[in-house]
Amino acid sequence: MSQESAKSHRWKGLREVVTMAWPIMLGAVSFTVMDFTDKVFVSTLGEENLAAVGSAGVWSYTMGVFFLGITACVSTFVSQSIGQGRHEDCAHYAWQGIYIAFAAGSVSVAMWPIAPYFFQAMGQSTSGGFGHAPEVINLEIIYFRIRLLGFIFVAWQACLSSFFQAIGRPVVPMYIALVANLGNIGLDWLLIFPHGAFPGWGIAGAACATVISLGAQALLLQGAFMSRGVNAKFGSRAGFRFDTRKIKELFRIGWPAGVSSFLDVAGWGIFISFIIGGFGTTQLAANTAALNFMHLMFIPVTALNQATAAIVGRWIGIGDIATAKARAYTATKIGMIVMLTVGISLALNGERLMRIFSQDPEVIGLGQTLLKFAAIFAGFDAISIVLSGALRGAGDTRWTMWTLSIGTYFVLLPLAYFFSITLGLEGKGAWIGATIYIILLSGAFLWRFKSEAWRHINIFSETGRSLLSEK
């Protein structure tokens, strides 16, 4: 390949990654703006409310992320099916993901009665501090229980968003996310604060607004999925039959993704609620505020994660491993540049950013320090996040599950405990441990992807198709 044609090939790869990622990114930006506004509104109710919404929000997401991990793998099957020219299978896999999303609804019912016991356990400090205050625990229970009602919608919209991303139409979930998230901001204002005869529901209103927004997003995506154009190409209206083989395929590849997502997010939930939360309301509030800004770093790489999964899956389906690898590396480089830029900007403007949430000098000071840690680990985190999407697109979900599980519980949490409690550095120490863990994790993901062990994985049933590596 000549130098000119190589340069053209690189630009083509960059264009493909950016074209797929920017709509996902814009949709994620709208969600982050919604979440940011939500927490700003809640922060006006007091420090206890801000601390509660941060902790309970993490756990409401954690408890449903297993199903989210499975339904997100719809992208893997749809993209590889398209690469092999089997368009009729795409809608079938999406419908099976929808059925799995409905199964998530029953889980929320089972968790309703255990919520008080779960959050009351956080009142007993595990880190030598004060634990969660009783008023914070009561607010956490209220917020968490309402958010449980949105489990089904989270998995449902993730499934259909993955479908549209895999077929190369990421603008569809983007527009729907924009509409739903803007509506959520209006609902926040309406439900959190008193208006005339309406008393205002406080933190409960914030949770209700989020659930309603998620429900609207899922229903709008369903309408788009069953539209005339999508039905004409993929048979989305006729592909609703329950397919045992496809369900098994989704679970075979999806359950490790679901387990790894659950254990990873649960580990971070322990990190926030039990380790940092154990040092009292002020440190928990500072962590909540700082994480809200860190989400600005994660938006681009989360979008690149989803885009890379679809792109890698399609090229593997075609049988072009070299292009699949090239696209993954291009996405990783973009992620590192963007995440580092945002992370450094947050660190340089930490004080004024933290003042949006609090005027407490202790909250501001700790929040500034946490944003500096974010600038340090930003580039490394980009590698792990983007390449985990590439591995998911290839169906390499079991290795990811074991790596994140072992890393979270045998590296992240022990390091966080050691620096925060053993050395007495409290919240700052916890993030020192987290930074070391993120750096080590990036090396593991880079090694796995470069090894190419994933290229021999067949995501389909043994009776369905021959191994792609034999093409």
Give which of 122, 62, 136, 139 is closest to 275, Cα–Cα: 122
* Residue tagged 């919608």 (tokens): 153
* Residue tagged 């590192």 (tokens): 336
- Write out pLDDT tens, residues 266-288: 898 889 888 998 888 888 888 88
3-43 and 321-348 helices cross at what angle (nearest 10)?
Answer: 40
Output phi, psi for 198, to 5 deg: -80, 125
Check residue 34 and give its pLDDT: 73
SS3 per residue for 160-182: HHHHHHHCCCCHHHHHHHHHHHH
SS3 per residue for 391-457: HHHCCCHHHHHHHHHHHHHHHHHHHHHHHHHHCCCHHHHHHHHHHHHHHHHHHHHHHHHHHCHHHHC
For residues 214-231, give the mean pLDDT.
95
Neighbours of 446 (CB within 10 A): 16
Check residue 151 and give its pLDDT: 86
If you average pLDDT over every residue of the chain, what do you get?
Answer: 87
For residues 284-308, give the mean pLDDT.
88
Percent of the chain with pLDDT strictly greater than 90 = 51
Classified as helix, coil or strand, 234 is: helix
For residues 257-273, give the mean pLDDT.
88
Check residue 182 and give its pLDDT: 87
Q: Is the pLDDT of residue 231 over 90?
A: yes
Whether the Cβ atoms of residue 415 and residue 373 lie closer than 8 Å to each other: no
Q: Is the pLDDT of residue 208 over 90?
A: yes
- Hey, what are 161's tokens? 């968003």
| CA–CA dist 109, 104 (Å, integer) | 9
Q: Is the pLDDT of residue 126 over 60?
A: no
Q: Is the pLDDT of residue 94 over 80?
A: yes
| CA–CA dist 423, 429 (Å, integer) | 8
| CA–CA dist 165, 90 (Å, integer) | 12
| CA–CA dist 174, 168 (Å, integer) | 12
For residues 198-202, give the mean pLDDT.
86
- Write out pLDDT tens, residues 141-192: 999 999 888 888 988 998 999 999 999 999 999 999 989 888 988 998 899 9
For residues 377-391, give the mean pLDDT.
96
Structural domain boundaries enclosing 311: 3-470
Q: Is the pLDDT of residue 320 over 80?
A: yes
For residues 316-332, give the mean pLDDT.
94
Bridge partners for 195 per DSSP: 198
Check residue 9 and give its pLDDT: 55
- Write out pLDDT tens, residues 411-420: 999 999 999 9
- Residues with Cβ within 8 Å of residue 200, at least 6 apart in sequence: 191, 192, 193, 194
Whether the Cβ atoms of residue 81 and residue 90 lie closer than 8 Å to each other: yes
- Residues with Cβ within 8 Å of residue 370, at least 6 apart in sequence: 286, 287, 290, 291, 294, 427, 428, 431
Check residue 130 and give its pLDDT: 55
Check residue 465 and give its pLDDT: 42
| CA–CA dist 388, 399 (Å, integer) | 10
- Residues with Cβ within 8 Å of residue 14, at least 6 apart in sequence: 330, 334
For residues 386-410, give the mean pLDDT.
95
Give CA 186 to chain center in angstroms.
24
Check residue 58 and give its pLDDT: 79
Classified as helix, coil or strand, 198 is: strand
Q: Give the count of alpha carbons within 13 A of 326, CB side only.
A: 15
Give which of 454, 346, 342 is closest to 390, Cα–Cα: 454
- Residues with Cβ within 8 Å of residue 138, at least 6 apart in sequence: none
Classified as helix, coil or strand, 195 is: strand
| CA–CA dist 111, 109 (Å, integer) | 6
The residue that leads in pLDDT, 132 or 409, is: 409
Give the angle subtended at the CA of 64 by the CAs of 36 and 210, to the nearest 5°.
Answer: 35
93-113 burial string, b = 16+ CB within 10 Å, else e? bbbbbbebbeebbebbeebee
Whether the Cβ atoms of residue 125 and residue 96 lie closer than 8 Å to each other: no
| CA–CA dist 241, 118 (Å, integer) | 39
Bridge partners for 198 per DSSP: 195
Q: Give the count of alpha carbons within 13 A of 290, CB side only.
A: 29
Under the banding of pLDDT at 50, 70 and 90, the label for residue 127 is very low
Number of domains in the chain: 1
Question: Is the full-model pTM beyond 0.75?
Answer: yes
Q: Is the pLDDT of residue 470 over 50?
A: no
| CA–CA dist 146, 57 (Å, integer) | 11
| CA–CA dist 14, 362 (Å, integer) | 44
Q: Is the pLDDT of residue 463 over 50?
A: no
Check residue 10 and give its pLDDT: 56
For residues 300-318, give the mean pLDDT.
92
Which range is least confidently modeled, 4-18, 280-294, 337-351? Answer: 4-18
Under the banding of pLDDT at 50, 70 and 90, the label for residue 124 is low
